[in-house]
């Protein structure tokens, strides 16, 4: 199994954030948190798009790999 195909651990930071209680946060703290999360989402989307462009360039150069287990 390739390194990037391994399942993500259940206890990653995104899972921890999703399960954290928000009851103790003030309105201002929640606004700050939303801003930080929106910035992180934008960063992840930019990285995803860059990785996809890199993959498309590699596929264009080397050809698209055939599906595994196709028997051909």
* Residue 25: per-residue pLDDT: 97
Does some domain include residue 72? Answer: no
Does some domain include residue 42? Answer: yes
* Residue 36: per-residue pLDDT: 96
Q: How many domains, in total, are found in the chain?
A: 1
Q: Evaluate if pTM is beyond 0.85.
A: no
Does some domain include residue 69? Answer: no
Other Cβ atoms closer than 10 A to 40: 13
Nearest to 37 by CA among 13, 2, 58: 13
* Residue 14: per-residue pLDDT: 86
The sign of the CA dihedral 51, 53, 59, 64 is positive
List per-residue pLDDT tens for the chain, 72 residues long: 566 677 766 678 888 899 999 999 999 999 999 999 999 999 999 999 999 999 999 999 998 766 675 555
Host H or E run for residue 66: none
Which pair of structure tokens corresponds to residue 45?
Answer: 């989307």
């Amino acid at each position: 199994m390739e390194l990037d195909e391994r399942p993500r651990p259940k206890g990653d930071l995104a899972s921890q954030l999703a399960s954290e209680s928000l009851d103790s946060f003030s309105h201002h703290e929640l606004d700050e948190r939303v801003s930080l999360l929106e910035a992180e989402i934008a960063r992840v989307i930019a990285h995803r798009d860059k990785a996809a462009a890199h993959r498309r360039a590699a596929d264009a150069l080397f050809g698209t790999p055939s599906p595994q287990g196709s028997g051909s």
